[in-house]
Amino acid sequence: MSINKVIITGNLTRDPELRSTASGMNVLKMGVAVNDRRKNQSTGEWEEVPNFVDVTVFGNRAEPLSRFLSKGAKVAIEGKLRWSQWENPQGEKRSKLEVVADEIEFMSSRDGGGSGGGSYTPPADAPATTPDLDGEEIPF
Protein backbone atom coordinates (compact mmCIF):
# COMPACT_ATOMS: atom_id res chain seq x y z
CA MET A 1 0.00 0.00 0.00
CA SER A 2 1.20 3.52 -0.74
CA ILE A 3 -0.16 6.97 0.04
CA ASN A 4 0.26 9.94 -2.27
CA LYS A 5 -1.11 13.03 -0.54
CA VAL A 6 0.37 16.49 -0.06
CA ILE A 7 -0.86 19.67 1.62
CA ILE A 8 0.96 22.95 1.04
CA THR A 9 0.28 26.59 1.83
CA GLY A 10 2.02 29.49 0.16
CA ASN A 11 1.74 32.37 -2.26
CA LEU A 12 1.28 32.19 -6.01
CA THR A 13 4.51 33.14 -7.77
CA ARG A 14 2.77 34.11 -11.02
CA ASP A 15 -0.70 34.52 -12.46
CA PRO A 16 -2.22 31.11 -13.23
CA GLU A 17 -2.18 30.03 -16.88
CA LEU A 18 -5.39 28.49 -18.25
CA ARG A 19 -5.15 26.25 -21.30
CA SER A 20 -7.25 23.53 -22.90
CA THR A 21 -6.27 20.11 -24.21
CA ALA A 22 -7.16 19.03 -27.74
CA SER A 23 -10.17 17.19 -26.27
CA GLY A 24 -11.38 20.39 -24.56
CA MET A 25 -10.36 19.68 -20.95
CA ASN A 26 -9.28 22.80 -19.05
CA VAL A 27 -5.83 22.76 -17.44
CA LEU A 28 -4.73 25.46 -14.99
CA LYS A 29 -1.01 25.76 -14.18
CA MET A 30 0.43 27.87 -11.38
CA GLY A 31 3.49 28.19 -9.18
CA VAL A 32 3.41 28.35 -5.38
CA ALA A 33 6.23 29.50 -3.09
CA VAL A 34 6.30 27.48 0.13
CA ASN A 35 8.69 28.77 2.80
CA ASP A 36 10.88 26.47 4.85
CA ARG A 37 12.90 27.45 7.93
CA ARG A 38 16.54 26.41 7.99
CA LYS A 39 19.38 27.25 10.32
CA ASN A 40 22.25 29.01 8.56
CA GLN A 41 25.36 27.04 9.58
CA SER A 42 27.69 30.02 9.27
CA THR A 43 25.61 32.58 11.21
CA GLY A 44 23.54 30.30 13.46
CA GLU A 45 20.43 32.30 12.53
CA TRP A 46 17.17 30.81 11.29
CA GLU A 47 16.27 31.82 7.73
CA GLU A 48 13.18 31.54 5.55
CA VAL A 49 14.06 29.62 2.39
CA PRO A 50 11.47 29.36 -0.40
CA ASN A 51 10.64 26.14 -2.23
CA PHE A 52 8.94 26.65 -5.59
CA VAL A 53 6.22 24.13 -6.39
CA ASP A 54 4.40 23.69 -9.71
CA VAL A 55 0.66 23.02 -9.27
CA THR A 56 -1.86 21.81 -11.87
CA VAL A 57 -5.66 21.77 -11.74
CA PHE A 58 -7.60 19.71 -14.28
CA GLY A 59 -11.22 19.81 -15.42
CA ASN A 60 -14.25 21.95 -14.67
CA ARG A 61 -12.78 23.78 -11.71
CA ALA A 62 -9.76 25.13 -13.64
CA GLU A 63 -11.60 27.95 -15.43
CA PRO A 64 -13.48 29.37 -12.39
CA LEU A 65 -10.30 29.25 -10.29
CA SER A 66 -8.38 31.14 -12.98
CA ARG A 67 -10.74 34.10 -12.51
CA PHE A 68 -10.13 34.44 -8.80
CA LEU A 69 -6.45 33.57 -8.38
CA SER A 70 -3.58 35.91 -9.18
CA LYS A 71 0.09 36.38 -8.37
CA GLY A 72 0.66 36.87 -4.65
CA ALA A 73 -2.56 35.19 -3.51
CA LYS A 74 -2.13 33.00 -0.44
CA VAL A 75 -3.59 29.52 -0.94
CA ALA A 76 -3.76 26.13 0.72
CA ILE A 77 -3.60 23.23 -1.71
CA GLU A 78 -4.39 19.58 -1.11
CA GLY A 79 -3.52 17.08 -3.80
CA LYS A 80 -1.12 14.41 -4.93
CA LEU A 81 2.39 14.34 -6.35
CA ARG A 82 2.94 13.49 -10.00
CA TRP A 83 6.32 12.90 -11.62
CA SER A 84 6.76 13.45 -15.34
CA GLN A 85 9.66 13.05 -17.72
CA TRP A 86 10.30 14.41 -21.22
CA GLU A 87 13.06 15.19 -23.66
CA ASN A 88 13.85 18.82 -24.57
CA PRO A 89 14.61 19.93 -28.17
CA GLN A 90 18.35 19.44 -27.53
CA GLY A 91 17.72 15.77 -26.70
CA GLU A 92 18.34 16.12 -22.95
CA LYS A 93 16.07 14.23 -20.56
CA ARG A 94 14.17 16.44 -18.11
CA SER A 95 11.84 15.60 -15.25
CA LYS A 96 9.80 17.36 -12.61
CA LEU A 97 7.63 16.67 -9.62
CA GLU A 98 4.40 18.68 -9.38
CA VAL A 99 1.25 18.77 -7.29
CA VAL A 100 -2.04 17.85 -8.97
CA ALA A 101 -4.58 19.76 -6.88
CA ASP A 102 -7.73 18.12 -5.57
CA GLU A 103 -8.75 21.10 -3.44
CA ILE A 104 -7.69 24.75 -3.24
CA GLU A 105 -8.57 27.06 -0.37
CA PHE A 106 -8.22 30.81 -0.70
CA MET A 107 -6.37 32.13 2.34
CA SER A 108 -6.47 35.79 1.29
CA SER A 109 -9.44 37.86 0.19
CA ARG A 110 -10.25 38.54 -3.44
CA ASP A 111 -8.51 41.94 -3.30
CA GLY A 112 -5.34 40.33 -1.98
CA GLY A 113 -5.53 41.52 1.61
CA GLY A 114 -6.65 39.96 4.85
CA SER A 115 -7.49 36.37 5.43
CA GLY A 116 -10.23 33.92 4.75
CA GLY A 117 -11.56 33.26 1.35
CA GLY A 118 -13.12 29.94 0.67
CA SER A 119 -12.48 26.69 -1.02
CA TYR A 120 -13.77 25.02 -4.12
CA THR A 121 -14.06 21.28 -4.49
CA PRO A 122 -16.69 20.29 -7.05
CA PRO A 123 -18.54 17.04 -6.47
CA ALA A 124 -17.29 14.05 -8.42
CA ASP A 125 -20.48 14.06 -10.49
CA ALA A 126 -20.31 17.81 -11.28
CA PRO A 127 -21.76 18.71 -14.69
CA ALA A 128 -19.39 19.48 -17.56
CA THR A 129 -20.61 23.10 -17.72
CA THR A 130 -18.83 25.89 -15.90
CA PRO A 131 -20.81 27.81 -13.23
CA ASP A 132 -21.91 31.35 -14.06
CA LEU A 133 -19.54 33.66 -12.16
CA ASP A 134 -20.61 37.04 -13.53
CA GLY A 135 -21.93 38.22 -10.13
CA GLU A 136 -19.88 39.76 -7.36
CA GLU A 137 -20.09 36.76 -5.02
CA ILE A 138 -17.84 33.73 -5.36
CA PRO A 139 -20.23 30.76 -5.47
CA PHE A 140 -17.98 28.36 -3.59
In the chain, the percentage of residues whose pLDDT exceeds 90 is 76
Classify residue 2: in a domain, yes or no.
Answer: yes
Classify residue 133: in a domain, yes or no.
Answer: no
Classify residue 106: in a domain, yes or no.
Answer: yes
pLDDT in tens, 30-74: 999 999 999 999 999 999 999 999 999 999 999 999 999 999 999
Classify residue 73: in a domain, yes or no.
Answer: yes
pTM of the model: 0.73
Output the average pLDDT for the chain. 83
Give residue 77's domain range: 1-6+15-25+60-81+99-116
Classify residue 54: in a domain, yes or no.
Answer: no
Strands (E), the chain: 6-12, 17-20, 26-39, 46-58, 74-87, 93-106, 119-120
pLDDT in tens, 108-120: 865 544 444 454 4
Judge whether 131 and 64 are in contact, CB under 8 Å. Answer: yes
Is the pLDDT at 77 greater than 60? The verdict is yes
Classify residue 122: in a domain, yes or no.
Answer: no
Classify residue 135: in a domain, yes or no.
Answer: no
Give residue 108's pLDDT: 80
Classify residue 75: in a domain, yes or no.
Answer: yes
Domain count, the chain: 1
